[in-house]
Each structure stands twice: as structure tokens, then as C-alpha cells.
Amino acid sequence: MSLTGPYDPDNIFAKIIRGEMPAVKVYEDDRVLAFMDVFPQAEGHLLVISKASQARNLLEAEPEAVEDLALASQRLARAATKALQCDGITVTQFNGTAAGQTVFHLHFHVIPRWADRPLAGHASGKMEDSAVLQGLADRIAAAL
Ligand code: AMP
């Protein structure tokens, strides 16, 4: 899918918001939801998604949705850093297939980093065990 086109209301993140697909949640309010990435690029990899916007990417997003996600990503990044004692943390997002985007619903990645651990591939590799993700989610949520 390119940068332009219609929003698909049946994309996987829309289904997670509606409770039609499972997710290991870390934080939720009426405008944002944060949950564990099932193909983590590093331990504690989180996704922060908008519940209020039908933008597919940052270019289409309403200012309020960008503000929601920026503030929530900052809060989750602080909590993940405190909980996991990482050396750094990447906050990023992808727009369009050419940029690596695979789910076309507005979201940010929050990825803890360690100096001696290489980053795994994006949206690929082994699906993480849900019990492992739940343990990480509990630790991060406790640090919010
Ligand atoms: P992007 O490629 O930037 O659109 O990011 C989408 C992310 O969603 C990737 O990092 C995937 O690993 C992740 N992902 C895909 N399906 C799921 C799912 N059901 N639950 C959690 N994360 C997912």
C-alpha cells in the first residue's frame, strides 16, 4: 500500500482496538492504546496506537492525534527505561510500504536498546511467546 488510499477499518490494529484480536496491553485510555509488539525488534518493544484517528500514517494525522501519540510515547519510553534499565530507547514510525510500514493505522514504535544487543529485523522473525510479553508488559505498566 502506498502513502495514499483509504483507511481499512479491518486492519489488525483496528481489530485490536475493537477487541476482535488479542493484544498484550500496557496502557489504555480513551484516545491511545499501548501494547507489546509480537515480533519485537528488542526486548520490551511497544506499539502506541491512536484510538481516535483513522489516519493511516503521520502525514494524514490530525494534530490532536499526533499530540496524543507523542505524549503517550514519551510516557511509555520513560516507563520502559525505568522498568528494563535499557541503555537507550528508539521512538520511531514508518510511513508507506517503501518506508517499511506494514500496518496502515497510525502508530509509534517504542523500542528499548542495549549497547551490546543488535536490533532484530522489523516486523519479521520469531513471534514472541505471550507469557514473555505479558511479563514485560507488567513490568513496564508498573513503572508508568
Ligand atoms: P509498521 O511496520 O511500522 O506498520 O509496524 C507494525 C508492527 O506491528 C510491526 O512491528 C509488527 O511486528 C507488529 N504487529 C503486527 N501484527 C501484530 C499483532 N497482532 N500484535 C502486535 N504487534 C503486531
Which strand (E) or helix (H) includes residue 33? strand 32-36
Structure letter (DSSP) for residue 6: -
Q: Which numbered atom of ligand 1 lies nearest the CA of 40? A: 12
| Span from the CA of 20 to the centroid of ligand 1 (angstroms) | 16
> Is the pTM of the predicted complex or chain greater than 0.85?
yes
d(CA 44, CA 84): 8
Report phi then psi at 140, rounded to 5. -70, -45
Atom of ligand 1 nearest to the CA of 16: 19
State the cell numbers at 74: 514519551
pLDDT, tens digit, 9 for 90 and up, residues 99-144: 999 999 999 999 999 999 999 999 887 899 999 999 999 999 999 9
